[in-house]
Structure 1
Amino acid sequence: MDYKYLFGPVPSRRLGISLGIDLVTPKICSYNCIYCECGKTTCLTVNRKEFVPAEIVIKELDDFLSKNPKIDYITFAGSGEPTLNSGIGKIAVFLKEKYPQYKTALLTNGSLLGDNDVLNDCKDIDLVVPSLDAALEKSFFKIDRPHHSLKIDAIIDGIAKFRTNFSGKMWLEIFLVPGINDKEEEIEALNRAILKINPDKVQVNILDRPGTVDWIRRPDDDELKNFASKILHSNVEITGKPADRDTIASFSGDIKQKILETIKRRPCTPDDLSKILGLHQNEINKYLGYLVENNEIVESAEERGIFYKVKQKN
């Protein structure tokens, strides 16, 4: 069976071996984040509907999981904001009832968690990881570039409401953008929000591959450690690099080689590679990250986006 809405399993920095479920088509989201590796949002919306048919996703999951794959999480993630899909609850219930041996996770920007329907749809998910990159309106709009109807105070209240009514685990993610959300007043506001939300863990994330703007940069180690030290929570984690993917069964040497062979012929964007190789862009990004980390390929910012090419040997 060819899978249209599943991708991976892929090695995840946070979730181990993750089977991804993409519930929206590229690039539908309620944010247009400056750091998003999936590219610019083309449909900025807060209106929920069944962008991807839940019944088809369920059939794909049933076919894949019936083979008893070794995975750590089944993860609602992908090309945009998963909670925008009004069918997410049907899929979560199916997984809980038929495949309870697998843990589920939701990677979300958190913008819709205050909605009662979203809370009801996501109550059966084991782990929810909402992002909160800023707790002040000005920096929120600069980093996340949300739909005009969204306000940061209401989003924080919504995440806190979800947390109170949710029996699973919650890890709150903060994406560090040097020069914006690392100022003292920004950190103080984030700490007030963290106290209100009361997550199980706070994760500090950083730029892994180029985002959608060229001015954003990766913090150095001192900036990262200094920021994390100021977050007032008993469990603060700096999201590190994945384990060596060569030791992980789901990381395919064949796919890695196909990517290298393709960009040897001509530089490609992640979208180019996704179309050429027939793989989900999130899966492509995992391999590109590995190849960049190992100095096998290099990135180049061009007018059409970020291109990848094989690193020339001296």
Structure 2
Amino acid sequence: MKYKHVFGPVPSRRLGISLGVDLVVNKSCNLNCIFCECGATTEIKELRQSFKDKEEIKNEIKNILKELTPDYITFSGSGEPTLSKDLGEIILYIKNELKYNGRIALITNSVLLNDDKVIEEIQKCDLIVPTLNTLREEVFQKISRSENISIENVKKGIEKLSKSDYKGEIFLELFILENVNDDEKNLEELSDFLKNIRYDKLQINTIARMGAEKNLKAVSHEKLISIKEFLEERKVRNVEIIAKLKEREEKIDINTDLFNNMIEKRSYSDEEINKIYKK
């Protein structure tokens, strides 16, 4: 069959063989982050809606799982997946009807975690990866370039997830940009906030591919190490730096549809591709 909504598996540094599911159309997001690998958001979307035919998405997932056994099915892609009103139904379909024994992950910018309906829908995920880069409004606006959304939306969303009945893992992502959010004051405020938040890992990341703004600078690995040590000195637990992509011993056959869907969303280097796919 022709695949339009699933993609990959993605060369993921965190999730192993990760089959992407894209519930939104390009580029549907409630933020316009300067580091986004999908490019700039041309039109900010704040209201949840159904972007695609959910039965098509279900059929694609059902069919590809006959050919591929991923470590994760990951909701990500062309924008913010929690904007899709079909997210909860498709998660339950994978778990209950397909009896999928692997893990389901959600990668989110955290804004809609303050919505009770969203929290209810994502309870069956095995892993949620929310972004938290700052607690300072001026820094948040510099990064996210949002007009109607403040850092309070993100803060309250992460607090709500932390206090919910969600039983899966939470890997918070801290995306560090040079001269944007890498100062000690920002890190101090984050460390104080995290003392009261339930999470399993705090993963420190920086630019690996070209973002929406081309002049952004990744921080050095040495700087990431110093940030990790600084946070740990302030009693932040389970801090890790995102490792480089590992090469798979058993390479994956390329499914042309899934591969093309993947590279349409963001660019991957030849090195990344060659580490997981057969030539």
Flag whether TM exceeds 0.5 (same fold). Answer: yes
* Equivalent pair of 1:24/1:51 in contact (CA under 8 Å): yes
* Equivalent pair of 1:92/1:122 in contact (CA under 8 Å): yes
Taking the aligned partners of 2:221 and 2:262, their CA distance within structure 1 comes to 31
Q: Secondary structure of the equivalent of 1:8?
A: strand
* Equivalent pair of 1:169/1:200 in contact (CA under 8 Å): yes
Superposition map of 1:128-167 within 5 A = 128-146=128-146, 148-165=147-164, 166-167=166-167
Q: Which residue of 2 aligns with 1:179?
A: 179
Q: CA deviation at 1:216?
A: 1.1
Q: Deviations over 1:256-289 (max 9, x none)?
A: xxxxxxxxxxxxxxxxxx9xx8433367634556
Q: Secondary structure of the equivalent of 1:167?
A: coil
Q: Deviations over 1:121-163 (max 9, x none)?
A: 11111100000111110111111223x2212123212211112
Supply the AA of the counterpart residue of 1:241: K
Inter-CA distance 116–291: structure 2 relative to 1 (3 Å threshold): closer
Inter-CA distance 64–292: structure 2 relative to 1 (3 Å threshold): closer
Q: Secondary structure of the equivalent of 1:9?
A: strand
Q: Which residue of 2 aligns with 1:23?
A: 23
Q: CA deviation at 1:64?
A: 1.4
Supply the AA of the counterpart residue of 1:87: D
Q: Which residue of 2 aligns with 1:119?
A: 119
Supply the AA of the counterpart residue of 1:19: L
Inter-CA distance 133–292: structure 2 relative to 1 (3 Å threshold): farther
Inter-CA distance 142–283: structure 2 relative to 1 (3 Å threshold): closer
Inter-CA distance 164–251: structure 2 relative to 1 (3 Å threshold): farther
Q: Which residue of 1 aligns with 2:77?
A: 78
Q: Is residue 285 from structure 1 mapped to residue 241 from structure 2 by the alignment? A: no
Q: Secondary structure of the equivalent of 1:177?
A: coil
Q: Secondary structure of the equivalent of 1:196?
A: coil
Taking the aligned partners of 1:127 and 1:282, their CA distance within structure 2 comes to 25
Q: CA deviation at 1:68?
A: 5.4
Q: What TM-score do you get using the length of structure 2 for normalisation? A: 0.89
Inter-CA distance 218–292: structure 2 relative to 1 (3 Å threshold): farther
Which of 231, 239, 242 lines up with 1:239 in the alignment? Answer: 242
Select between 80-89 and 132-141 the one with higher mean Cα deviation: 132-141
Taking the aligned partners of 2:92 and 2:273, their CA distance within structure 1 comes to 37
Inter-CA distance 238–282: structure 2 relative to 1 (3 Å threshold): farther
Taking the aligned partners of 2:102 and 2:67, their CA distance within structure 1 comes to 10
Q: Is residue 42 from structure 1 mapped to residue 42 from structure 2 by the alignment? A: yes
Q: Secondary structure of the equivalent of 2:195?
A: helix
Inter-CA distance 289–155: structure 2 relative to 1 (3 Å threshold): farther
Unaligned 5+ segments in structure 2 are none
Taking the aligned partners of 1:249 and 1:292, their CA distance within structure 2 comes to 9
Q: Secondary structure of the equivalent of 2:267?
A: helix
Unaligned 5+ segments in structure 1 are 256-273, 294-314
* Equivalent pair of 1:10/1:286 in contact (CA under 8 Å): no
Taking the aligned partners of 1:119 and 1:34, their CA distance within structure 2 comes to 26
**Larger radius of gyration between Structure 1 and Structure 2:** 1
* Equivalent pair of 1:11/1:248 in contact (CA under 8 Å): no
Q: Is residue 218 from structure 1 mapped to residue 200 from structure 2 by the alignment? A: no
Taking the aligned partners of 2:151 and 2:16, their CA distance within structure 1 comes to 31
* Equivalent pair of 2:18/2:70 in contact (CA under 8 Å): yes
Higher RCO (C-alpha 8 Å, min separation 6): 2
Q: Deviations over 1:19-76 (max 9, x none)?
A: 00001111010111111111101121210001122221111111111x1522100000
Q: Is residue 94 from structure 1 mapped to residue 100 from structure 2 by the alignment? A: no
Q: Deviations over 1:212-268 (max 9, x none)?
A: 1133101112211111222242211101211115x342264x97xxxxxxxxxxxxx
Taking the aligned partners of 1:186 and 1:292, their CA distance within structure 2 comes to 37
* Equivalent pair of 1:54/1:87 in contact (CA under 8 Å): yes
Taking the aligned partners of 1:196 and 1:178, their CA distance within structure 2 comes to 27
Supply the AA of the counterpart residue of 2:208: D
